[in-house]
């Protein structure tokens, strides 16, 4: 007999913007400024120069990244999220090009090799391994040759990775630079690069944070790791989250 019980994800996503210790949506559009350095860094370093590039962001939430994508002059971008509360918040903030859809179903209805950029910021950790494998198959199908995927996810390699993975009940996974490469390589991708989510300099305070990260925090983490493993891995990522760029 088919159960009518509501899935735990649906329960949480229905009010996702309000469930938690603090609201995740700012009161007005100016509240998005604190995330601008993060998004602008991605746009400056990884986005195509063509402002007409076809861009899809899945799990876009209340549309913060979409706001900055449009602000940078990109004209063919859309954000999709299945949380009704998040979509309502995007409308309240006046952010365009954000729609409510089931992410997987939306992907399945996209034409083959039709996207230049596919974005999943703080999204892939919400799926089981089996679900994510199927989704990445869809990523490969819909992405154009030389297109890119941009993901941001919890770092299981860092000292505080568990605090991110378990901060949200809907999180299923955390990743390392190795494990995320494994699943994308297994689905046909060949160019996968991961980057620390280190402080981005955009003023005096952030400059101090970056200085401390480079010269004190990271070397200390590396020292602890070298003691435990007997080897120094200069490429190890220690930030709580990390960014990955995948090219087809």
Q: What is the mean pLDDT of residues 18-47?
A: 83
Contacts of 62 (CB under 8 A, 6+ apart): 17, 24, 25, 86, 87, 89, 90, 93, 95, 98
- All domains of the chain in start order, with CATH: 8-200+237-247 (3.40.50.150)
From residue 122, how far is each of 222, 228, 243 by CA, in Å? 26, 30, 10
Look up residue 115 and give its two tokens: 């996207």
Count Cα neighbours of 34 within 13 Å in the Cβ-side half-sphere.
7
Tally of CB atoms within 10 A around 6: 9
What pLDDT digit, counting tens, does each position of 8-27 carry? 777 877 666 565 544 678 78
Whether the predicted pLDDT of 83 surpasses 90: no
Model confidence at 4: pLDDT above 90: no
pLDDT of residue 96: 85
CB 68 within 8 A of CB 88: no
Chain segment 168-226, per-residue pLDDT in tens: 888 999 999 999 999 999 999 999 999 999 999 999 999 999 999 999 999 999 998 89
If you write DSSP's letter for every residue of 207-223 in order, what string do you get? Answer: HHHHHHIIIIIHHHHHH
pTM score, two decimals?
A: 0.91
């Amino acid at each position: 007999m088919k159960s009518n019980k509501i899935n735990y994800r649906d329960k949480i996503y229905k009010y996702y913007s309000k469930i938690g210790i603090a609201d995740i949506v700012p009161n007005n559009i100016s509240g998005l400024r604190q995330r601008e350095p993060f998004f602008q860094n991605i746009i400056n370093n990884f986005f195509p120069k063509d402002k007409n590039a076809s861009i899809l962001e899945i799990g876009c939430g209340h549309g913060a990244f979409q706001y900055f994508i449009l602000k940078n002059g990109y004209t063919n971008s859309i954000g999709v999220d299945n949380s009704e509360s998040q979509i309502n918040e995007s409308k309240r903030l006046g952010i365009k090009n954000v729609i409510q859809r089931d992410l997987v179903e939306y992907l399945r209805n996209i034409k083959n090799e039709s996207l230049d950029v596919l974005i999943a910021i703080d999204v892939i950790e919400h799926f089981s391994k089996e679900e994510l494998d199927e989704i990445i198959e869809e990523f490969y199908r819909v992405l154009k040759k030389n297109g890119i995927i941009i993901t941001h996810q919890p770092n299981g390699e860092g000292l505080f990775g568990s605090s991110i993975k378990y901060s949200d009940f809907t999180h299923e996974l955390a990743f390392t630079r190795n494990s995320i490469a494994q699943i994308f390589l297994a689905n046909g991708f060949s160019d996968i690069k991961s980057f620390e989510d280190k402080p981005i300099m955009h003023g005096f305070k952030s400059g101090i944070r970056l200085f401390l990260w480079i010269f004190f925090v990271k070397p200390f983490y590396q020292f602890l790791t070298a003691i435990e493993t007997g080897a120094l891995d200069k490429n190890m990522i220690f930030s709580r989250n990390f960014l990955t760029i995948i090219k087809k």
